[in-house]
Chain A
């Protein structure tokens, strides 16, 4: 006899294409949700991106600082690793912003003199919004003679940062829960598959096929299918995030633009995620494999 023929790798798929297909669809859905949560968390840093967007450090400059010096200070601060952007606003721009916020107070500008000084607005990166990041920016600005005062949240800041850490911990706990749900679904499905296969495995074992070979080949097949499923789930998640952040701008503020998902900082954890998803499915098949054997064999 010659040729390839059926393989133990795919023994779960015939004759149970229907139930196995349905289970695989459920597995894909759960993986898709887990992958979306995973990518969303890495892109958003939990609440980091949202808070970093809202929080600004302001360095108020002394009166009379020339615009070139103000812009130079902004450039120097902007180059710090924790800083996303630093923008200099001259006194006239500061006055325009003040009137926008508080209309009808033009009379404050008595005698043509602008009472407001220039300032540098500093926005931190999501990952830089921490005691360390704030302190690094502060320590780079404080020695400068042009800087009169630095506003950075005052006494509220430590509490805000503590709440940020708790919120992130809760969100990561949510991810762990999603992974737990995936594992539970995986375990139930693999046990059901193994029990369905009992007659087939009995047939094979009675005819001299090694039980170990059946279990290992099945597990390998499950890992291969698992890898393909995980890849599809991640791809679908990227598409879904793109759609959702386009449709809901507040989500874009929290998660960030989808193009950043391809940044190595976020893309590199995706590979361990894919490998783990594939390996877990293979291991679940291996562990549940004994249920496919008649008792005592």
Chain B
């Protein structure tokens, strides 16, 4: 499989359980070295070049895993504190303000002091998204976010993600299936065949169907990434 993702695009990979969706996201994010092939970001390999490039890319990307641990003993505020440790240079007042804003956006107002273990699966998924958005990542890797958040939140989260993509962020979602309302829209045909399907939902311009060219670099444009098979 050869995949090229440009800045500001939103991709969804769908497929049945154990089809490799999570593995694909992990490989693209630089977490798991593929048996063959490579992932390039801004012309440099995540796996074969300087490890600092891999770390830098992972620092600029947010991840919401499929299985969210109950984080025994931690509160929601603790996870935001960890996120600010990664971001660096965030004052306590700024952290407090952004935390309140993000939690309100995902429907969890005033839950900073709530223990994570007491949140439901849906609440935990939304909280995890808010924690990642705290650092304003250029890339988002979201595994079963909509599935875990529940049907009631699929539309709202979809709108948030589309807005983020329009803002230039690159989003990769792994879901069991494409949400119904998204299927009703004008979605290009899937980019790959079995075992899973890749859908590109938004792009920087309608002409860029294959997504092989990266957007013109701007000051805040995320680094373009490509994945190639067999290299």
Contacts and interface: CB of A to CB of B under 8 A. Distances in A.
Q: Do A and B bind each other?
A: yes
Interface of A: 1-8, 11, 14-16, 199-200, 203-204, 206-210
A15 B89 contact: no
B77 to A, nearest CB: 9
Given A5-B90, A207-B58, A15 B85 contact: no
Given A2-B91, A5-B90, A15-B74, A204 B85 contact: yes
Contact of A6 (B54, B60, B81): B81
A200 to B, nearest CB: 6
B140 interface: no
Contact of B78 (A5, A7, A8, A14): A14
Nearest to B82: A203
Contacts of B87: 1, 5
A284 B58 CA distance: 30
Contacts, number: 72
B63 A6 contact: no
B82 A200 contact: yes
A3 B90 contact: yes
Interface in B60-103: 60-63, 69, 71, 73-75, 78-79, 81-95
B181 interface: no
A5 B88 contact: yes
B59 interface: yes
Which 9 residue pairs spanning A and B have beta carbons closest together? Answer: A3-B91, A208-B59, A208-B58, A208-B55, A5-B90, A15-B78, A207-B86, A1-B90, A203-B82
B63 A5 contact: no
Contacts of A200: 82
Given A3-B91, A209-B59, 14 more contacts: A3-B92, A5-B92, A6-B85, A8-B85, A15-B74, A199-B74, A203-B79, A207-B58, A207-B59, A207-B86, A208-B56, A208-B58, A208-B60, A208-B86
A199 B69 contact: yes
Nearest to B59: A208
Contacts of A16: 73
B57 interface: yes
B31 interface: yes
A27 B31 CA distance: 38
18 contacts: A1-B87, A1-B94, A3-B91, A3-B93, A4-B89, A5-B85, A5-B87, A7-B85, A16-B73, A199-B69, A203-B79, A207-B58, A208-B54, A208-B55, A208-B58, A208-B60, A209-B86, A210-B55
B67 to A, nearest CB: 13
A237 B95 CA distance: 42
A16 B135 CA distance: 23
A135 to B, nearest CB: 66
Interface in B23-79: 31, 54-63, 69, 71, 73-75, 78-79
Contacts of A4: 89, 91
Given A1-B94, A3-B90, A3-B94, A209 B75 contact: no
Interface in B90-147: 90-95, 135
Nearest to B132: A207
Contacts of A208: 54-60, 86
Contacts of B31: 206
A206 B55 contact: no
A208 B29 CA distance: 11
A109 to B, nearest CB: 87
A14 B81 contact: yes
Contacts of B92: 3, 5
Contacts of B69: 199
A147 B149 CA distance: 102
Contacts of B75: 15
A203 B75 CA distance: 15
Nearest to A207: B86
Contacts of B89: 1-5
A204 B82 contact: yes
Nearest to A3: B91
Interface core residue of A5, A204, A209 (most chain B CB under 10 Å): A5
Nearest to B98: A1
B136 to A, nearest CB: 8
A199 B60 CA distance: 20
Contacts of A203: 79, 82
A209 B55 CA distance: 7
A14 B84 CA distance: 13
Contacts of A207: 58-59, 61-63, 83, 86, 135
